Chain A
Amino acid sequence: MDLALFITLFGSALRATTPLLFAALGGLFSERSGVVNIALEGIILFGALAAAVTSERLEFFILATNPDANLAWVPWVGVLAGLLVGGLIGLIHAIISIRYKADQIISGTAINLMAVGIPALILTGIYANKSSSAPTQFRLPLWGFGDFKFSPLVYLAFILVPVVWYVVFRTPFGLRLRSVGEHPEAADSVGIDVRRMRYYGVVLSGFLAGLAGAYLSVGNLNQFISNMSGGRGFIALAALIFGKWHPLGVLGATLLFGAFQAIETWLGGGKLLPQTIVQAIPFILTMLVLAGFIGKSRPPKAIAKPFEK
């Protein structure tokens, strides 16, 4: 393998890691607070849709009045829209599973199903087709030097790892978040508002999964394409388990998954090793971790259990 290919594959692995890392860190907040968030996949799609449509519509209307406008700021607004819509969908999941104590898996699945249907509806309304938004002209900048140039969101994802670690393990907020996920009755007895902490956890996970979506649509490409998440929300959940619900573990797991994508590319269309096998390896590892063969991965104790006062 020559140097140019290695550099490209290295960058490729980091770019593949980015949306997984956002979503898995999001999932960490939610699951640490005791709420399973299988809706990550759907939230990614909603975030991607919001980011792309907001950017494209803004561009469209401003360029209609002033064709020479410099709209370099527009994709940033798109990213913000992806973040907020992600948080909103997270809030829906939170209300259903915390306030109404519905089964969290079913609520998440419902959101994932909506994320297939609703974008088609919105795209039909705006672009008269069900599969894609119009591409935007202005993109997020690429930061870096030489061959190492990445979207700002790539840097943000990696910076978030120590930030999340600090918040979860070194602040009172993090202590409360973990306590309501481990033993909500004990947390309640010392005056922690269990439901409020869980709302925070789930909405934060929505924000981060929304960012993952924004990265896919406007951070890396320049349009929304239906189902463009391609299972990344579920892979992020696997990475969360593999990473033992710890930010550094999540970083390692998502990097491993990203690296395997690059390796799959390098092995080139199944000429050396069948693509399916390479694709499966990270998940086989995840199962081995779950089964306790490689260390023990223990979920928060109160996960998926609604809190009854």
Chain B
Amino acid sequence: MNKKLLVVALAFAGLSLGLAQDFVMGINFDAGGKFDKSFNQGTWEGFSSAIDNLDSDIEILEFEGSPDTFAQGLRQMSSDGADLIVAPGFAQVDIIHNISAEFPDTNYLSIDAWPIDDINPNELRVGFAEHEGSYLVGYLAGLMSQTGVVGFIGGMDIPLIHKFNLGYEEGVMAACSECTVISNYVGTTPSAWNDPARGKELAAAQQAQGADIIYAAAGSSGLGVIDFVTQTMCYQSDNLRTTPLSSTVKVLPKSAEYNAKCDAGSQPLFFIGVDSNQNYLGDTDDRVSTLNHGLTSMLKRVDIAAANAVQAVADGTFEGGYQALGLAENGVGWALGDYNDPLIPSSVVSKMAAIRNDIISGAIVVTNYFDLQ
């Protein structure tokens, strides 16, 4: 009896997987989970909206894993007959490489990967030119900083984060050769990604050294940096440069809390977010129209990578290999929207567009930290 039931159940499962859908597509989330307001969520949004836009019947498989269970989730979805599995996060890249050899009928997208020699034909590895995006936000920071000092706070002290740091420094220096960049790292172990208290202290120390704009590429520790900026709100200094920010900040209405905390002579502090658009986190009074403390965010368009892969599988054009998504592919960029629009005058926006074009055309070459090694 039990055996019969099992056979019937299997038959149904086979039917539902094999016949009812045009495609089966899976997503294997990185640690942090589906709605992490960052990496996973961005991938999910690109993945699901691309599927919604397609005119086909697609079954979605999801697995929320951790470094211990990635392989399990990936194998499960692969043996369930998935046509495509999207996997955000560098921690899964090696596992995908092995599993893609085992399941040649499934296509895989590794996000945040790096090039290797023996990529499988069903394995697409996508990396991002974080140094180019960081150069852009660094350029903006250099243009805007009123103190001439800007900060960088990295999470774990690893080459990938030095790639952000170096691009940012080059951008700052290109905009303002007399500016200083102060760089700190939260730590040297993986707990550096989850230590907002330490991030906050580093931000306080950088501000004490004169930084008025701080770029945080530090995972959840970056929330401590943002917390410092939105709680402290402003600084006093006698020695200010005149920048486009001086005039935009002057006319912007401030929140009641800002006015209570900061007297007329003080200037606002800003952070630069990372990965997804974190500008909204700089809004301290739930009013977009008042001054917000997010100057911009360095965007890593994981959503575009996921959406492209879904489209390619649906079109039958999916190919393995390595893709670097840079400025030209809109894989990285800087965030401009309602929250920071009033801070950034149109002359600066067009200047930024020109810089972006120069990087794409090769007139400006941003050093990739990985090429130095």
A: residues with CB less than 8 A from B are 4-5, 7-9, 11-12, 15-16, 19, 120, 124, 127-132, 135, 139, 216, 220-223, 225-228, 230-231, 261-262, 265-266, 268-270, 275-276, 279
Q: Is B37 an interface residue (CB 8 A)?
A: yes
Given A221-B224, A225-B220, A268-B184, also A131-B33 (CB < 8 A): yes
Q: How many residues of B are in contact with the other chain, CB < 8 A?
A: 34
Complex alpha-carbon distance, A130 and B194, angstroms: 13
Query: Does A275 lie within 8 Å of B220, measured CB to CB?
Result: no
Residue of A19, A262, A269 near B184 (CB, 8 A) is: A269
Q: A-B pairs with CB below 8 Å: how many? A: 104
B: residues with CB less than 8 A from A are 31-37, 64, 157, 182-185, 187-188, 191, 194-198, 200-202, 204-205, 207-209, 220, 223-224, 227, 231
Given A226-B194, A227-B194, A231-B191, also A12-B204 (CB < 8 A): yes
Complex alpha-carbon distance, A273 and B34, angstroms: 39
Residues of B within 8 A of A279 (CB): 187-188
Residue of A9, A129, A223, A262 near B36 (CB, 8 A) is: A129
With A7-B208, A261-B201 given, can you name 13 additional A-B contacts, CB distance below 8 Å? A8-B204, A9-B208, A16-B198, A128-B34, A129-B33, A130-B33, A130-B36, A131-B32, A131-B36, A132-B220, A230-B187, A230-B198, A275-B185
Q: Can you sample 24 A-B contacts with CB below 8 Å?
A: A7-B208, A8-B204, A19-B197, A120-B33, A124-B33, A129-B34, A130-B31, A131-B31, A131-B32, A131-B33, A131-B36, A216-B197, A220-B200, A221-B223, A221-B224, A223-B223, A227-B194, A228-B194, A230-B198, A231-B191, A269-B182, A269-B185, A275-B187, A279-B187
Listed residue (B157, B185, B205) with the most chain A CB atoms within 10 angstroms of its CB? B205
Query: Does A261 lie within 8 Å of B36, measured CB to CB?
Result: no
Complex alpha-carbon distance, A16 and B204, angstroms: 13
Query: Does B188 lie within 8 Å of A276, measured CB to CB?
Result: yes
Complex alpha-carbon distance, A284 and B286, angstroms: 48
Residue of B nearest to A130 (CB): B33
Residues of B within 8 A of A7 (CB): 208
Query: Does A268 lie within 8 Å of B183, measured CB to CB?
Result: yes
Residues of B within 8 A of A220 (CB): 197, 200
Given A129-B35, A268-B184, also A8-B208 (CB < 8 A): yes
Query: Nearest chain A CB to B91's CB is how many angstroms away?
Result: 14
Residue of B nearest to A142 (CB): B231
Query: Does B32 lie within 8 Å of A129, measured CB to CB?
Result: yes
Query: Nearest chain A CB to B29's CB is how many angstroms away?
Result: 9
Residues of A within 8 A of B220 (CB): 131-132, 225-226, 228
Residue of A nearest to B152 (CB): A269
Complex alpha-carbon distance, A199 and B123, angstroms: 57
Complex alpha-carbon distance, A6 and B252, angstroms: 33
Residues of A within 8 A of B204 (CB): 8, 11-12
Query: Nearest chain B CB to A234's CB is how many angstroms away?
Result: 11
Query: Does A5 lie within 8 Å of B35, measured CB to CB?
Result: no
